[in-house]
């Protein structure tokens, strides 16, 4: 057992000593090769990527698509618990480049968004359809959908709002299930 322990410790010490020497020599070689191979890199204009330079930000904002909604909030009024409300939010790409929706997510599992999956050309229209299931909900509700796209700004929100009335038929009381005749 001691023999194995000494053998492993010796190998570790040998590897440590030899790896330190090779890194120093390798760094000099890499540094020389890197400076010799460097060439000017042309930036690529991409509205999907946030630029870090002040000039790049202005160019990106000018060319970025713009998602302009006819309405960003829909009032569904008062509904009974268990009903499903569907509404389609329509938008127009008022920018100068194609608009691509990356994702759309809701604030809760009761709301499901579906959106235009293909790029929306400048001047064209797209949709975000929202389904709200009021099962288990009661009172004032405002489900919100967050849309992430290659727009400026890249996050846009649309919402539905309204009141959900509870069922008038009780399902269970303190004495157990309610029997209806």
Q: Is residue 14 part of a domain?
A: no
Q: Is residue 15 part of a domain?
A: no
Q: Is residue 11 part of a domain?
A: no
Q: What's the structural domain count of the chain?
A: 1
> Contact, 68 vs 122, CB < 8 A?
no
Q: Is residue 2 part of a domain?
A: no
CATH code of the domain containing 73: 2.60.40.10
Residue numbers of the domain that contains 133: 67-165
Share of the chain above pLDDT 90, in %: 50
Q: How confident is the model at residue 9 (pLDDT cuts 50, 70, 90)?
A: confident
Nearest to 82 by CA among 160, 162, 136, 140: 136
pLDDT at 4: 78
CA angle 10, 15, 20 (to 5 degrees): 135
Within the chain, where are the H helices? 2-37, 54-63
Q: Is residue 53 part of a domain?
A: no
Place of tokens 């618990």: 81
pLDDT at 173: 61
| pTM for the whole structure | 0.60
pLDDT at 60: 56
> Contact, 162 vs 78, CB < 8 A?
yes
Q: Is residue 49 part of a domain?
A: no
Please state the rounded mean pLDDT for residues 17-35: 50
Q: Is residue 172 part of a domain?
A: no
pLDDT at 17: 65
Helices (H) and strands (E) in the chain, counts: 2, 11
Q: Is residue 80 part of a domain?
A: yes
Helix (H, G, I), strand (E, B) or coil at 142: coil
> Contact, 149 vs 66, CB < 8 A?
no
Provide the token pair at 170: 């009780």
Q: pLDDT tens for residues 142-168?
A: 999 999 999 988 999 999 999 999 876
CA 152 vs CA 117, 118, 178: distances in Å: 19, 18, 55
Provide the token pair at 90: 């329509």
């Amino acid at each position: 057992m001691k023999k194995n322990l000494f053998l492993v410790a010796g190998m570790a010490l040998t590897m440590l000593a030899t790896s330190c020497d090779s890194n120093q020599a390798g760094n000099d070689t890499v540094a020389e090769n890197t400076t010799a191979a460097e060439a000017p890199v042309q930036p690529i204009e991409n509205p999907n990527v946030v630029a870090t330079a002040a000039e790049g930000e202005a160019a990106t904002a000018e060319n970025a698509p713009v998602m302009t909604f006819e309405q960003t909030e829909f009032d569904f009024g008062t509904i009974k618990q268990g009903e499903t409300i569907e509404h389609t939010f329509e938008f127009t790409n008022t920018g100068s480049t194609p608009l691509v929706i990356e994702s759309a997510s809701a604030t809760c599992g009761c709301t499901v968004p579906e959106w235009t999956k293909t790029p929306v050309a400048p001047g064209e229209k797209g949709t975000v359809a929202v389904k709200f299931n009021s099962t288990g909900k009661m009172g004032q509700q405002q489900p919100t959908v967050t849309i992430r796209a290659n727009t400026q700004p890249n996050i846009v929100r649309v919402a539905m709002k309204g009141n959900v009335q509870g069922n008038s038929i009780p399902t269970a009381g303190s004495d157990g299930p309610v029997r209806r005749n």
